[in-house]
């Protein structure tokens, strides 16, 4: 099972996607703790999610851990799964209202970063960490 989770290709360019996705989620997770009123519990309360205090800590912790794992390329496929879930929930809870009130193009404009993070995460789930990842190093050793 571990072999399948850490399997990856030798792509040199996957690091670009890893750096983008990993850095964004590590940063966003840290901000949920540093600025909880606007990035964490306060934001979750504003958009109507249940248990905003718990969610702020829960989501922030997952973003920090998974973002860091993706950055170094350790368990990249596994770390991508919670990030995909976070992005799907974020898009459903924030962009559906924009779509209903302001239309398709405003929703697309407001969700451009969301789409980049979602598709980047899906790419990492499919391809793994790439050549310069801990996953690749572990795979080469085993």
- The arithmetic mean of pLDDT across residues 67-79, rounded, is 98
Q: pTM above 0.85?
A: yes
For the chain, how many structural domains are there in total? Answer: 1
Tell me: the pLDDT tens digits for 97-126? 899 999 999 999 999 999 999 999 999 999
* pLDDT tens, position by position, 27-68: 999 999 999 999 999 999 999 999 999 999 999 999 999 999
pLDDT beyond 90 at 142: no
pLDDT for residue 43: 94
pLDDT given at position 126 = 96
The predicted pLDDT at position 124 comes to 98
pLDDT in the model for residue 44: 95
More confident residue, 141 or 66: 66
Structural domain range at position 96 = 2-141
- Rounded average pLDDT over 72-76: 97
CA distance 107 to 105: 5
User: Which tokens go with 122?
Assistant: 């899906």
Taking CB atoms within 8 Å and a gap of at least 24, the contacts of 86-94 are: 86/25, 86/59, 86/62, 87/114, 87/117, 87/118, 87/121, 88/118, 90/114, 91/118, 93/47, 93/48, 93/49, 94/47
**Mean pLDDT score across all residues of the chain:** 95
Contact 109, 103 (CB under 8 A): no
φ, ψ dihedrals at 13, nearest 5°: -90, -10
pLDDT band at 90 (very low <50, low <70, confident <90, very high): very high
User: How does pLDDT run across 2-34, given as a tens digit for each residue?
Assistant: 888 999 999 999 999 999 999 999 999 999 999
């Amino acid at each position: 099972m571990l072999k399948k989770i850490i399997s990856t290709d030798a792509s040199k360019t996957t690091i670009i996607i890893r750096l983008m996705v990993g850095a964004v989620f590590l940063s966003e997770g840290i901000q949920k703790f540093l600025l909880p009123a606007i990035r964490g519990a306060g934001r979750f309360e504003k958009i109507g999610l249940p248990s905003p205090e718990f969610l702020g800590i829960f989501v922030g912790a997952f973003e920090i851990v998974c973002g860091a794992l993706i950055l170094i390329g350790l368990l990249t496929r596994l770390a991508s799964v919670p990030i995909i879930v976070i992005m799907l929930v974020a898009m459903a809870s924030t962009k559906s209202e924009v779509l209903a009130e302001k239309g398709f193009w405003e929703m697309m404009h407001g969700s451009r970063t969301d789409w980049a993070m979602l598709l980047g995460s899906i790419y990492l789930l499919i391809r793994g960490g790439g050549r310069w990842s801990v996953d690749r190093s572990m795979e080469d050793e085993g």
